[in-house]
Structure 1
Amino acid sequence: MGQTSNKQTIGFIGTGVMGKSMAGHLMAGGHPVLVYTRTKEKAADLLEKGAIWKDTVAELAAEADVVITMIGYPKDVEEVYLGEGGIFAHAKPGTYAIDMTTSSPILARRIYEAAQEKGIHVLDAPVSGGDVGAQNARLSIMVGGNKEDFDAMVPIFEKMGTNIVYQGKAGAGQHTKMCNQIAIASGMIGVCEAMIYAKNAGLDQRTVLKSIETGAAGSFSLSNLAPRMIDGNFDPGFYVKHFIKDMGIALESAKEMGLWTPGLELTKKLYEELAAKGEENSGTHALYKLLDTQKHAE
């Protein structure tokens, strides 16, 4: 347990768009929070609120009861967990390590197996809900690992999310997140096309939204991202570059299972075209900009 509190000391690695809000909720819940992120400036708000900066992953892992990671790519996850300066090389036996990054289900299983040898409890717990869900502590959290480890961490998950579901053994959280991303992928094309169609038909896009967002077409993307499209606000709730990464993982997993996912393949191709136009750091709803500039060839 943490020395300054009867609550577990939590080490949080990765304080980007979502991680910053998530770590803030843990602090508000009374947990001492240690932070490490590659760009210290991104942790400035948390440090002002009383989070404790650690210069390395190793230092953070050695002092934390629970380590949470919310980082970029599977290669980063692999390095942070399995590298020489990583969590497993420095964490105390009995530490809980929760990877909330959207990463590879195959890697999640490898990390779980390595954790067993170290006496570390590990969960893969990716999230959905974007910047809005993170800010409001209303994330959907999908969790893989041992059920008893999940049960022990539920109070921590409850400080960050409202829909917390145990999905099964190690890797199951990541597989569930892939289902989420696959559903969003083709759906985002539909939302963009609907808003562009409305505009070209001479309709008021906001008035169209009033009619369709509560009907059968309703979705998070339609309710939360279509208004941003209309406003021309393409700031990231979730980065284009990270969505492309996720779709790559999903395609790899789908192919491993022998599945055909044409909607996913098309969406990834369109997003790669969008990124090539310099939009990799825009929000995923910036697909609107790519489709809005295209006219049918005929």
Structure 2
Amino acid sequence: MGPGARQIENGEARMAQAAHDIIEVAPGRTQVGFVGVGIMGRSMAEHLRAAGYPLHVFTRTRAKAAPLEEAGATWHDSPAALAAACDVVITMVGYPADVEAVYFGEDGAAETGILAHLKPGAVAIDMTTSSPSIAQRIAEAARARDAWALDAPVSGGDVGAKNATLSIMVGGDRTAFDAVKPLFDLLGKSIALLGPAGAGQHTKMVNQTVIAGTIVGVAEGLAYGKAAGLDLAQVLDVIGGGAAGGFQLNVLGKRMVEGDFAPGFYVHHFIKDMGIAGAEAERMHLDLEVLTLARALFERFAAEGGREDGTQGIYRMIARD
């Protein structure tokens, strides 16, 4: 047997062993860790705790985790410490650089990251919107430890997180997906495995590209209605039941009309997502002009002070008197 064949055989044996040892998810028994409990993460973590899963938490600002701790969650001082205590580790942080830091360690110090402390058979699930290439690197590193990793970004914003109606787009191995599906079922309604590692992130880029044009269109349409002297609440009632209806119009359009620009999803995070989508499109030799225009508009809005608004805040700039 040649060295190549031995490598394949050894790899297959390692994967078979990992498949045999993969964690069985069950309330009361499976230790679930959640890294990042912000606007969406806190609600998601609470759904898991309420379903009976022992919950472990870490976030950079501990005060954000206080409601979860008061409800019985266990606090850890680092992602590494959390990973060592858990069977499933879920991350939902801000930027691709944050994903790299929590998985591979701050400043490249591997021992401070999640991957260095994953148990054999454990599953790491990154629900951050990040880059497909980082998802692939995480999956490869997890496999090297006889563990598993899925990329599972979500859509639905704060409303979807609170109501457990998120769309969850997953990339990775079927074995790991099937094992943790009971956890996904507690968080969302539309859940799909879309391909190998990175496929979840690519699907999220499709989602964000669609939203980019749609949210700007909603803001411009309502600005038109305002300039025409229409009752915008009535306008929303009418067109929201037709072909224009959808989350961006029916939920965020209503917030625009009511002057509610509080973040369900931050402008600066959306700009980050559009940047990832744009970079991936360029790599694939696609010229996505609407995405490019939407990103430029949101960058201008952020520079004018809208960085911490929800994405519906773009209406403030487009419809200004």
TM-score band, normalised by the shorter chain?
over 0.9
Counterpart amino acid of residue 72 in structure 1: G
Give the TM-score of the pair, scaled to structure 1.
Answer: 0.96
Q: Counterpart in 2 of 1:171?
A: 198
* SS of structure 1 residue aligned to 2:193: strand
Query: For 1:145, what is the secondary structure of its paired residue?
Result: coil
1:94 CA drift (Å): 1.2
| Residue number among 33, 40, 47 corresponding to 2:69 in the alignment | 47
Aligned residues: 293
**Match in the other structure for 1:102:** 129
1:37-90 deviation digits (Å, cap 9, x = unpaired): 000011111111111111111110000000000000000101111122011111
Return 5+ residue gaps in structure 2 as ranges: 1-22
Q: Which of 87, 94, 102 does residue 114 from structure 2 map onto?
A: 87
Deviations 1:117-154 (A, max 9, x none): 11111000000000000000000001000011111111
- State whether structure 2 residue 183 is matched by structure 1 residue 156: yes
Matched, 1:7 2:29: yes
Asked if structure 1 preserves the Cα contact closer than 8 Å seen for 2:27 and 2:51, the reply is: no
Structure 1 unpaired stretches of 5+: none
Structure 1 runs (4+) deviating above 6 angstroms are none
1:218 and 2:256 aligned? no
Tell me how far apart the structure 1 counterparts of residues 149 and 266 of structure 2 sit (CA, whole Å). Answer: 26
What do residues 4-46 of structure 1 show as CA deviations (whole Å, max 9, x unaligned)?
Answer: 9643110000000000000000001100000000000111111
The yes-or-no answer on 1:76 pairing with 2:98 is yes
Q: Distance in 2 between matches of 1:218 and 1:6?
A: 41
Q: What's the TM-score, normalizing by structure 2?
A: 0.89
Q: Tell me if the contact between 2:153 and 2:201 (Cα under 8 Å) persists in the aligned partners.
A: yes
Q: Deviations over 1:149-170 (max 9, x none)?
A: 1111110000110111110100
Q: Given the superposition, is the C-alpha separation of residues 5 and 291 from structure 1 closer, same or farther in structure 2, using an over 3 Å criterion?
A: closer
The percentage of counterpart residues that share the same residue type is 55
Match status 1:227 vs 2:249 = no
Give the residue type in structure 2 aligned to 1:227.
K
Equivalent residues of 2:301, 2:314 under 8 A apart: yes
Root-mean-square deviation (CA, aligned residues, Å) is 1.4
Q: Report the equivalent of 1:194.
A: 221
- Classify the secondary structure of the residue corresponding to 2:190: strand
2-structure distance, mates of 1:140, 1:121:
21
User: What's the CA shift for 1:293?
Assistant: 2.3
